[in-house]
Each structure stands twice: as C-alpha cells, then as structure tokens.
Amino acid sequence: MAAKDQIDGLKFEQRHGKERVRVGRVWRHGKDGPHFFVEWNVSVNLLSDVLPAYVNADNSDIVATDTMKNTVYVKAKECSEQVSVEEFAILLAKHFTSFYAQVTTAIIKIVEKPWERISIDGQPHNHGFKLGSERHTTEVFVKKNGALGVTSGVEGLALLKTTKSGFEGFVRDKNTILPETRERMLATEVSASWSYHFDSVSSISTAPLRFTETYLYVKDVLVNTFFGPPKEGVYSPSVQATLYYMAKAVLHRFPGISSIKLKMPNIHFLPVNLSSKDNPVIVKFEDDVYLPTDEPHGSIEASLGRTHSKM
C-alpha cells in the first residue's frame, strides 16, 4: 500500500514512517494488586499528500519520523487502562489520520514480545514475568474516510509430534530419493495471520473488543488441531493437509474472522543410520535417534477465507 501520483507521465508511489520503535508499558492495579506488562515493537507508515517534498524539496507537509516515534510514547502514556496490541494500533492509526490533514492512510504494525507472568509455589506473581516463545502480532490500517482493516497473528509457534505423520503418493522421477512413509516426526514453526470482519472505524465503536482473548483461543485451536486428542493424536498425511485442517478449524470456530493465512515450514528430523566398512551397523534407526536440521526445509503456506472476504 502506497500513496500514488503521476509525475511527467510516470507513476510514482511513496510512503514514509518509523520502524522498530520499542516501548514497554506497565499498568499497576492498586497498591498491592497485580502489575500488567507489555513490550511492543512498533512500525508506523503514513500515506500522505507530500508530493512537493519529492519533486520540489518542499518539506512543509512532511510529518517527521521522529515525531512518529514520540507519538508512540505519548499514546502509550495516555492509555491509562490496559489495552491489547490491536487496540493500541487502532488508536495510533486513528490519531495520524485525524490529526494531520495531509495523511490519507496510516499503517501500524506491532510485534508483542512474549512476556508471561510467572508463578511461585503455584501462585501467580504480582510483578514477575519470564520471556516466552511465540509472538503476538498485528497490522492495522485506517484511512481518512474511516475505512479500517485489522489483522492479528502469531509468529514462532513451534510444534512437534514424534509420530502420527506420514508422506506418501507424491511425484517420483529420476531426481527423487525420498522414501514414502507412514511413520515420521513432524515439526514446524507456525506463522499465522487472520483478518477480522471490521471494515470501518465506526463498526468497532460499540463492539466489545476481545482481541487478546481471540488471539489465545485461535492459538489453542491451531495447536489442538495439529496434535489431536491427548492419547491417540491425529494422523497427518502431509503438512498441506494439516495446514488446511487448522485453517478450516479457525474459520469454523470464529465467525468474526474472515480469512486466515498459515505458513508452516517442514522442519526435518533425519533418521540416523551409522555404518562403516568394518562395522555395517553402528547405529540402526528404529524411530528413535534423529539428526535435527533447520535448513534446508520445506516451505508450505496457504490462505483460506470466506467467499465474501477480501483476502
């Protein structure tokens, strides 16, 4: 997405912003109540009517990127009540499109660092946190006319199961050496992003915003679909099939989500067989000893959306 202009018969697109603005925010609930903490990495991009800055060296309509950075901290301070990463992104985008006449669209991307509350002797600690793994993400755009797009996501969701996975019936040619199997390890690091039905700022003004709860529930659905029931699990005939089952389960469970995109690299654990001229069987693979690898890896991604959604 970029602001578009015509210059001397040529198409010109531009936008500008501030990347990787890091902010931490603590909310304290009473003198002895629990503290809530978030750490965000914020990116701001503005589509603006600032063509003179490029063609005439006229900066009079440029919003300085340093101002964008400062605005992130000002708005974080103004949030006296705890907000989700999506709500903060919407708040920022609305500010830039309403405060500056020349800004036509604001695009906010935020990655939330996974600080998690710790427990001591089974009790949640009031102000103690440890760093987790997967990251909560969002991308929001707000246009001058009130149009709104909200996407949430998760990155770094590492999943592995030691059985109930296979791969058979694929194309074989002179370059194929991969054996078919109905018994293998399946590991991946899921990146998922899903879009909500919201299409305007006014459409969320009275709706209860439960972005954080939805994020946690979507993550649970993805994980549960990948693994299946605790005892018997569920068989995966391919990463492609499992990806589709996961995406379909999310859309079935959450009517407020219009589409979802999943990227699931196939991270390989290779069977270990060791032999030598003098000893033909040093280690014989019996579904027990593997060589973990992270590259090269298979790359599988797909999107699934409702027929009326804009993907």
Q: Rounded to the nearest 5°, which phi and psi values hold at 294?
A: -125, -5
Selected catalytic residue, list 94, 109, 261, 268: 268
Is residue 266 annotated as involved in ligand binding? Answer: yes
* Both tokens assigned to 72: 């992130």
Cα–Cα distance for residue pair 247/93, rounded to 1 Å? 29
Selected catalytic residue, list 11, 16, 18, 163: 18
Handedness of CA 49, 51, 52, 58 (dihedral sign): positive
Is residue 279 annotated as involved in ligand binding? Answer: no
* Both tokens assigned to 284: 């014989």
Is residue 184 annotated as involved in ligand binding? Answer: yes
In sequence order, what are the residues at sequence separation of 6 or more whose Cβ sits closer than 8 angstroms to the Cβ of residue 157?
A: 133, 134, 189, 190, 191, 192, 219, 222, 223
Selected catalytic residue, list 35, 65, 144, 219: 65
Annotated catalytic, 4?
Answer: no
Annotated catalytic, 18?
Answer: yes
Determine whether 35 is exposed, middle or buried from the number of CB atoms within 10 Å of its CB (0-12, 13-18, 19+).
middle
Residues in the chain: 311
Is residue 129 annotated as involved in ligand binding? Answer: no
Annotated catalytic, 65?
Answer: yes
Helix and strand totals (H; E) in the chain: 5, 14
Is residue 66 annotated as involved in ligand binding? Answer: yes
List, as residue ranges, the binding site for urate: 65-66, 167, 184, 239-240, 266
Query: Residues marked as binding?
Result: 65-66, 167, 184, 239-240, 266
Annotated binding site for O2: 65, 266
Q: Which residues are annotated as a binding site for 5-hydroxyisourate?
A: 65-66, 167, 184, 239-240, 266
Catalytic residue numbers, as ranges: 18, 65, 268
